[in-house]
């Protein structure tokens, strides 16, 4: 009888030990899952969208600004919004935006060229793309077709 009671106690202790190990393992898994969800939520809330809003591209490939005869407005708007996102990312990271953004003169020359394919525009686009790459921003999908 004594031996049977000892076996019952040993089985109870073994069950309790397994239960404690399972609960500790479950809590660790839940901690990791909650940490991953919190990190994802933090990135979602803090990170600004890197798409340029307000740049409309018509289905025909033209834009409303180029239809009106002056493509400079659409270029100016595109460069302004794209640069604005880059400036905010630089400030968020404690950097001087002027270290990564094109100068005012470069913007003006690109806008006056009236096309994204001019050497002036390519200089501005290159600087913007390098900045977007540096801060891990997504390059805007909507671009003027000029």
Place of tokens 């686009």: 125
- Name, in order, each residue with C-beta under 8 angstroms of 53's C-beta and a sequence gap of 6 or more: 81
State the pTM of this model: 0.51
Per-residue pLDDT reduced to its tens digit, 49-94: 444 444 443 333 444 444 456 888 988 998 999 999 999 999 999 9
Which of 2-16, 36-50, 88-102 has the least mean pLDDT?
A: 36-50
Print burial letters for 75-85: b (CB count within 10 Å at least 16), e (below 16): bbbbbebbbeb
| SS percent in the chain: helix, strand, coil, step 5 | 70, 0, 30
Listed by start position, the domains of the chain span: 1-46, 64-134
């Amino acid at each position: 009888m004594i031996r049977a009671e000892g076996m019952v106690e040993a089985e109870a202790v073994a069950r309790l030990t397994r239960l404690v190990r399972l609960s500790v393992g479950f809590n660790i898994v839940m901690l990791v899952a909650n940490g991953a969800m919190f990190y994802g939520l933090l990135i979602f809330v803090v990170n600004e969208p890197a798409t340029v809003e307000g740049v409309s591209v018509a289905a025909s490939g033209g834009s409303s600004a180029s239809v009106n005869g002056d493509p400079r407005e659409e270029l100016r708007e595109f460069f302004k919004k794209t640069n604005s996102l880059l400036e905010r990312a630089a400030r968020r990271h404690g950097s001087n935006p002027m270290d990564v953004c094109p100068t005012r003169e470069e913007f003006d020359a690109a806008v006056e060229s009236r096309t994204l394919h001019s050497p002036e525009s390519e200089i501005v686009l290159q600087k913007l793309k390098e900045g977007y790459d540096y801060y891990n921003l997504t390059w805007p999908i909507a671009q003027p077709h000029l």
